[in-house]
């Protein structure tokens, strides 16, 4: 039976490799996904902080020498604004507009509250961050004045801080680690689904639609050998797509500056080896799932619809784990996809080998692939299937 399965495998691989559309569909996600991540990282990369200067335009700045000096001491470039009201846009070259009243100096001297308006343009990430920085400095100057006024009047500044809270994180895994780890793990898991999706539909549902199943079954091969050969072909595409995804993602991550990432990523030979040792059996299991779905339908289009719906499973489970893990029972972490994500994120972002999740994932993949392959081969023996072929 092994020789028969190898013969079917060679025939299926030869057919699929001749179809360029299948190759593009199988490997485009693995190649373009990490490239897109790197492009987004490049776009969001900040300029050199030594060269970047935040600029604030201030009205009636001659009445606020203390505020201006405070801002310049913090590295801001302050420019005068001569208008009396705000236009539709900020002054050219300014990151924010600080509108002071014409009676600023008089009100400040008399101890009356002074209304200071800060106008920002938050339509971009840069404008949002720089606007908040300028607003924070205005609030900081308010605290600075308050402390000095209390000191001048002999009032202890400790009255401003009656309670001094301190926060301590006792969680095993930081939220940023969990979100980034689960998100990256979801991409790796999706690669196993995408790699074999098109070829899985074509190798069974497509052959039934083209009426090429009967000539294949007329050959002296068992149904199990046929399914094993087709499973080997679909698994090969899924595994290659997964290896490409891991390789390109790790390569992209290695070129992203460390200061752009909120945490460390463990990229070494042992991590990649363990990652592939877990993802390869999972890719075979997913290939078996896709073949099982493909044999239930009668046309390529119908099979593509059902297997495309199957693609929502990892995304649903991933979002369930990311946003609903606190409400799930502990045993849910050992379900398919859940345990894979837990193990992968632990490897990448903590450097720890979650042995329990790893071995449960591999066991589920192996047992699931065997069971689904047996059911698919039984379905191939059905007379109803042969009549439709």
3-state helix, strand, coil in the chain (%, to 5): 70, 5, 25
What does the H/E/C string look like for 178-197? Answer: HHHHHHHHHHHHHHHHHHHH
d(CA 172, CA 235): 36
Domain assignment of residue 296, yes or no? yes
Tokens of 266: 């463990």
DSSP string, 375-389: HHHHHHT-HHHHHH-
3-state secondary structure of 315: helix
Residue 227 and residue 362 in one domain: yes
User: What is the model's pLDDT at position 286?
Assistant: 92
Residue 37 and residue 66 in one domain: no
Domain end call among 158, 183, 215: 158
Q: Could you tell me which of 240, 130, 144, 121 has the C-alpha nearest to residue 192?
A: 240
Q: Could you tell me which of 188, 234, 204, 227 has the C-alpha nearest to residue 26?
A: 234
> What residues are paired with 98 via a beta bridge?
58, 118
User: What is the model's pLDDT at position 49?
Assistant: 45
User: What is the model's pLDDT at position 387?
Assistant: 53
User: What is the model's pLDDT at position 48?
Assistant: 46
CA distance to 52, 165, 293, per residue, from 255 (Å): 23, 40, 40
d(CA 72, CA 56): 10
Residue 69 and residue 29 in one domain: no
Q: Could you tell me which of 234, 215, 361 has the C-alpha nearest to residue 292?
A: 234
The secondary structure of residue 202, as a DSSP letter, is I
Domain assignment of residue 49, yes or no? no
> What residues are paired with 120 via a beta bridge?
96
Domain assignment of residue 201, yes or no? yes
How many CB atoms lie under 10 A from the CB of residue 231?
Answer: 27
CB 280 within 8 A of CB 239: yes
CA distance to 154, 275, 353, per residue, from 270 (Å): 64, 8, 10
Residue 107 and residue 197 in one domain: no
User: What is the model's pLDDT at position 177?
Assistant: 58
| Residue 6 neighbours by CB under 8 Å, 6+ apart | 229
Residue 233 and residue 195 in one domain: yes
User: What is the model's pLDDT at position 315?
Assistant: 80
Q: Is the pTM of this model over 0.85?
A: no
Residue 142 and residue 189 in one domain: no
User: What is the model's pLDDT at position 50?
Assistant: 46
User: What is the model's pLDDT at position 106?
Assistant: 87
Element holding 77 (H helix, E strand) = strand 77-81
Residue 134 and residue 213 in one domain: no
Domain assignment of residue 163, yes or no? no
d(CA 22, CA 274): 29
Give the residue numbers spanning the domain of 146.
55-158
Mean pLDDT, consecutive 10-residue stretches, the chain (389 aa), reads 80 76 71 66 52 82 87 88 77 87 84 84 81 88 81 73 58 58 80 85 80 75 86 91 86 67 71 88 92 84 80 81 74 81 80 85 92 89 59
154 conformational bin, left if phi > 0, alpha if psi -120 to 50, beta if neither: left
d(CA 328, CA 306): 28
């Amino acid at each position: 039976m092994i020789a028969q399965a190898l013969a079917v495998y060679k025939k299926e691989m030869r057919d699929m490799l001749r179809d360029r559309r299948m190759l593009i569909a199988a490997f485009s996600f693995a190649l373009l996904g990490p490239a897109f991540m790197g492009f987004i990282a490049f776009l969001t990369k900040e300029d050199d902080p030594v060269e970047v200067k935040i600029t604030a335009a201030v009205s009636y700045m001659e009445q606020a020498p203390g505020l201006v000096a405070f801002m310049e001491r913090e590295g801001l470039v302050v420019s005068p604004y001569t208008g009396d009201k705000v236009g539709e846009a900020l002054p050219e070259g300014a990151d924010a507009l600080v509108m002071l009243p014409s009676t600023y100096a008089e009100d400040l001297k008399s101890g009356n509250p002074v209304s200071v308006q800060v106008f920002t343009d938050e339509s971009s990430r840069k404008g949002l961050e720089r606007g908040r920085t300028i607003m924070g400095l205005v609030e900081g100057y308010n605290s600075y004045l308050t402390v000095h006024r209390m000191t001048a009047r002999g009032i202890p500044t400790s009255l401003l801080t009656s309670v001094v809270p301190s926060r301590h994180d006792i969680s095993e895994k930081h939220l940023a680690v969990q979100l980034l780890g689960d998100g990256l793990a979801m991409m790796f898991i999706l690669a196993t689904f995408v790699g074999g999706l098109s070829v899985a539909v074509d190798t069974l549902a497509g052959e039934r639609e083209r009426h090429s199943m009967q000539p294949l079954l007329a050959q002296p091969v068992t149904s199990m050998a046929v399914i094993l050969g087709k499973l080997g072909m679909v698994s090969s595409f899924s595994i290659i797509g997964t290896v490409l995804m891991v390789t390109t993602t790790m390569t992209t991550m290695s070129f992203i500056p460390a200061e752009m990432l909120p945490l460390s990523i463990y990229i070494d030979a042992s991590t990649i080896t363990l990652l592939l040792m877990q993802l390869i059996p999972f890719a075979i299991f997913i290939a078996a799932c896709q073949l099982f779905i493909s044999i239930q339908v009668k046309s390529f289009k119908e099979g593509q619809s059902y297997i495309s719906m199957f693609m929502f499973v990892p995304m649903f489970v991933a979002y369930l784990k990311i946003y609903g893990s606190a409400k799930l029972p502990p045993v849910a972490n050992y379900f398919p996809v859940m345990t894979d994500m837990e193990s992968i994120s632990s490897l990448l972002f903590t450097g720890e080998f979650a042995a329990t999740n790893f071995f449960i994932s591999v066991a589920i993949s192996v047992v699931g692939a065997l069971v689904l392959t047996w059911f698919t081969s039984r379905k191939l023996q059905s007379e109803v299937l042969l009549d439709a072929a």
